[in-house]
Amino acid sequence: MKLLLVGEYREGRLLDTSAELFGFAAAIGGDASIFLVGSAEDVPAFSGALYLVDAGLYGEYNPEVHKQLLLKAVEEVNPDLIVFIHSSYGWDLAPRVAASLKVAQVSEVIGFADNAYEVGCCNAKMHRNVTPSTSKAVITIQAGAFPALQSEGTPLVKVLSTDVASTTEFLGYEPAEAKDVNLAKAEIVVSAGRGIGKKENIEVIRSLAKAFGGELGASRPVVDAGWIDHGHQVGSTGQTVAPKLYVACGISGSIQHLAGMKKSGFILAINKDKDAPIGEVADVLVVADVLQFVPALTAKLS
Amino acid sequence: MKILVCIKQVPDMESHFRPNGSATWFDESDLAFRMNEYDEYAVEEAVKLKEQLGGEPEITVLSIGPDRVIEAIKKALAIGCDRAVHINESAVASKEPWQIASIIAAYARSIQFDLVFTGMQSQDRGSAQVGVLVAELLGIPSTTTLVGFAYADGVVTATRELEGGVKGKVRLKTPALVTCQLGLNSPRYPTLPNIMKARKKEITTFQAGDLSSEPPLTGSSSFRHPEKKGSGVVLEGSVDELVEKVIVILKDKTAVLR
Ligand SMILES: Cc1cc2nc3c(=O)[nH]c(=O)nc-3n(C[C@H](O)[C@H](O)[C@H](O)COP(=O)(O)OP(=O)(O)OC[C@H]3O[C@@H](n4cnc5c(N)ncnc54)[C@H](O)[C@@H]3O)c2cc1C
């Protein structure tokens, strides 16, 4: 199998997730080439062909132009599989390439067997297998699903360029907002999810956090609804935490939330749904109504 | 100005899912359906833009599926969309992103919309493909994962959400398509007078097969509950018993309780 891996740069640096592309390539086997819109200053060790585009010329986000350049690499490599990370760069570019080639795309792959790719669905509650019916295919792999692997060797660098016009103008990055709460340092984090029902109930969860002597965290819908500010958000677009104890109150356990807390020492989840995917990572899943169980636990602790 | 909003109806994610007969997808019976959460932000953003432009734009809301999707369409009309297109497809569950996008593009091509809003992904399938595929099929620029949107004089300024709290600012000219991320705005609830008004709004029906007959590019199988990997315990019972048990476990297994 011939693979074309698509790595990512942010502000001139190759992102660490690229190592997961190498991990995936090693797991599935085959000849890998890599395509990068980045900088010659920071290319990975690699023992295959490396199609390099100077991000200084075209920008790190410029989807129409990146697509055309990637299609040039596809023409040279003639890959069976084009592999992206399922990230804001990957899910934006992958469908463009799949549409141009009119080939199957499988999104957010977590495993594979024969010609089928395993993916999550229904907010990670269920899994299914997706089989491309085209001879080539595009996939995006879930961040964290495959082990990061440092590759070795000296790549054979081929520089690509194009005169295709941009259809979007990249104006620049906005840095992450300063965090007013440092969850990463806390030994205990007690987080509120949408299951708490309404803003006022944040206090119920805050009381438990206090009783434990821990910090208050939250899932994204709680932040989006304005129940608490973004500094408390745990997950791929919030903070990553690994406390000794993480308590998830009314949190379903989406991939993006798990990305921010699954390395916690001990995970206690309270959910009325026995099937909630948080059960996959929880050491203890208490099947109960948070608004009944949490106050009772708080009372016992205080 | 003509605006299109594409919405999907999805099951409540708190439902208990069971595979259908061929295990390609879930069995629909006993499921309660609602508007895909990401699409609620798309509808709201379109309605906000209409308000910003003094009511001039006409907003069409589109949904593909069996008759049940009319409920989601009516909600979008009650929130402020002007007219609706229901693309009837009873086998919508077996249609994959390429087919769905081909159907939408076949309809949209004939109207020439200035702006298309979609959710960044659906809660059930989560492929994050359909919006971008529609734009590619229409040959218009697009950008994804919006947490900020501004429009003036044919130019969209979009704020994309990247990883770890970083954002990217992008400008694109209409006609264009954008996909909306959670938190882009605060979706309003339809009011009773607006629900009444929405009843008079026009819903045009098409048959999916008349718009596109693209074959699928992927097949689906083995829809299932994931294998339990962890060694976690599940506790059920009365609240008092549960509290006692949890305290014993925390004392035993963690160093945080003495
Ligand atoms: C690109 C991207 C980035 C994202 N980044 C993040 C992120 O950083 N962090 C994040 O959290 N999410 C993130 N999300 C959103 C994520 O996909 C989920 O939508 C979100 O995590 C769900 O939050 P939740 O579990 O609180 O809500 P839901 O998924 O709605 O779950 C609520 C849970 O509460 C339970 N429940 C309801 N009522 C009760 C009750 N009375 N008692 C007990 N349990 C109850 C339900 O059974 C359910 O399991 C991101 C999504 C995308 C696409």
Q: Which residues constitute the domain of residue B101?
A: 2-211
Q: What is the mean pLDDT of residues B157-171?
A: 95
Strands (E), chain A: 2-6, 9-10, 13-14, 31-38, 49-54, 81-85, 104-113, 116-121, 126-132, 137-141, 156-159, 168-174, 188-192, 215-218, 245-249, 266-271, 284-287
Give me the pLDDT at residue B231, please. Answer: 77
The total of structural domains in chain B comes to 1
Considering the domain boundaries, does residue B121 fall inside one?
A: yes
The string of pLDDT tens digits covering residues B116-140 is 999 999 999 999 999 999 999 999 9
Listed as ranges, residues in chain A with pLDDT below 70 are none
Would the pLDDT of B60 be above 70? yes
- Say if residues A141 and A86 touch (Cβ distance below 8 Å): yes
A219 CA distance to ligand 1 centroid (A)?
Answer: 6
Considering the domain boundaries, does residue B13 fall inside one?
A: yes
- Say if residues A116 and A130 touch (Cβ distance below 8 Å): yes
- Write down the mean pLDDT value for chain A: 96
Which segments of A134-230 does DSSP mark as H helices, in order? 202-212, 220-224
- Write down the mean pLDDT value for chain B: 96
CB atoms within 10 A of CB A212: 22
Q: What is the mean pLDDT of residues B163-187?
A: 96
Burial A233-262 (b: 16+ CB within 10 A, else e): bbbbbbbebebebbbbbbbbbbbbbbbbbb
- The Cα–Cα gap between A84 and A23 comes to 12
Full-model pTM: 0.95
Question: What angle, rounded to 10 degrees, do the helices at B239-253 and A290-301 form?
Answer: 60
Mutational pocket test of ligand 1: of B10, B12, B13, B14, the residue with most ligand atoms within 8 Å of the beta carbon? B14
Mutational pocket test of ligand 1: of A200, A256, A280, A285, the residue with most ligand atoms within 8 Å of the beta carbon? A256
DSSP letter at A18? H
Ligand 1 pocket check for B163: Cβ under 6 Å: no
Q: What percent of chain A stands above pLDDT 90? A: 95
Q: Which domains does chain A have, with CATH numbers?
A: 2-159 (3.40.50.620), 183-301 (3.40.50.1220)
Ligand 1 pocket check for A236: Cβ under 6 Å: yes
Give me the pLDDT at residue A181, please. Answer: 80
The string of pLDDT tens digits covering residues A212-254 is 999 999 999 999 999 999 999 999 999 999 999 999 999 999 9
CATH number for the domain including B22? 3.40.50.620
Give me the pLDDT at residue B227, please. Answer: 83
Give me the pLDDT at residue B164, please. Answer: 84
Considering the domain boundaries, does residue B245 fall inside one?
A: no
Which segments of A182-282 does DSSP mark as H helices, in order? 202-212, 220-224, 255-258
Considering the domain boundaries, does residue B68 fall inside one?
A: yes
Considering the domain boundaries, does residue B219 fall inside one?
A: no
Considering the domain boundaries, does residue B218 fall inside one?
A: no
Ligand 1 pocket check for A224: Cβ under 6 Å: no
Give me the pLDDT at residue B258, please. Answer: 65
Is residue A197 helix, strand or coil?
A: coil
Considering the domain boundaries, does residue B238 fall inside one?
A: no
Considering the domain boundaries, does residue B216 fall inside one?
A: no
The string of pLDDT tens digits covering residues B214-227 is 999 999 999 999 88
| Residues from chain A contacting residue B253 (CB–CB below 8 Å) | 266, 283
Give me the pLDDT at residue A179, please. Answer: 72
B34, two tokens: 């609602």
Give me the pLDDT at residue B198, please. Answer: 96
* ipTM associated with this complex: 0.96
